[in-house]
Amino acid sequence: MKLEKKPLSQEKGRCHAPKPGHQVQLGRSSLEIFLNRYRWKNILSTSSSSIIREVEDVTTGKTYVCKTTKRETVLDVINEVTCLKCLDHPSVVKCADAYVGSSEMHLLLEPLCRTDLESVLVRKERLNEKEARLVTERVLHAVQHLHKRGVVHRNLKPSKILFKDPGDFKQLYLVGFGMAALMQEDDEMCLSDSCGSALYVAPEVLAADCLYNEKCDLWSIGVILYQLLTGQPPILADCTDELLKKIRFGQVNFEPLESLHLTDSAKNFVQQLLTLDLKQRPSAAEALLHPWIANAGARLESYT
């Protein structure tokens, strides 16, 4: 699904569309400076649009994640960098710097995390209810912060949730803001482009000629939580077209939830997140007040 990229600019704690003629400025340094300052280390992952590497600052010895993209995707990276610069939350990855060369652009991110939630699910298949609740709560606090700053992630999925320590679910980081979008402060329904990952995209994002809002992220969190609890996606299909059609009409299979020894509160929470009706689906702030989250014991500080 193709995304129409829109650069963002920071103002008064929120991200806003840049004014006509306004250029988003990055900390631009030459490729030569970058190569002199950092030493390439391990390749962490590759895709059609980028290479993710581990790099070391030769002066300080500090290690970063470096996302390298082609120069023609610079607007996408500007979108990601500027979005990250207006966020300040312990569960959101931080942008350290950006270097622009003639053919490539290097985005430095911290901290270095080697394990994502997708890898955890491959290893464990599913989490127990306590673990799933801990991960979900952390993600909800981070997403609440995004939405307060006017940022919608739009591509939440297990591979975008990283852990510094694979055995510690308390410290996680949201990454992958390449599809992040801007919410206008005076317009509750202002997003229209279709984007995301097939298993996790919200129904309203797929609807033709339909405007949507930040609650698309809550659907994605619901899909992730369903997977954490059951070990499988909430909607299955034989091909992508069939999958997207089922998602569009909210054809979620809740039977696996019923067959497991889960609390009624957990099942109710998943059902609320995977609600087709946007008006009935909770916001991040409302989701944090659900009994399954709010009554779990020691609470997290709510960052704004």
Express each pLDDT in 136-147 by its tens digit.
999 999 999 999
Phi, then psi, of 34 in degrees rounded to 5: -60, -50
d(CA 158, CA 102): 33
Least trusted range by pLDDT, from 41-55, 267-281, 288-302: 288-302
Average pLDDT across the chain, whole number:
85
d(CA 161, CA 218): 15
Numbers of helices and strands, H then E, in the chain: 11, 12
Average confidence (pLDDT) over 122-133: 95
Whether 9 shows a pLDDT value over 90: the answer reads no
Tell me the pLDDT band of 14, cut-offs 50, 70 and 90.
Answer: low
Tell me the pLDDT band of 3, cut-offs 50, 70 and 90.
Answer: very low
Express each pLDDT in 172-196 by its tens digit.
999 989 899 877 666 677 788 888 8
Tell me the pLDDT band of 15, cut-offs 50, 70 and 90.
Answer: low
Domains of the chain by start residue, with CATH: 9-110 (3.30.200.20), 115-294 (1.10.510.10)
Whether 81 shows a pLDDT value over 70: the answer reads yes
d(CA 72, CA 180): 18
- Other CB atoms within a 10 A radius of the CB of residue 261 amount to 5
d(CA 161, CA 158): 5
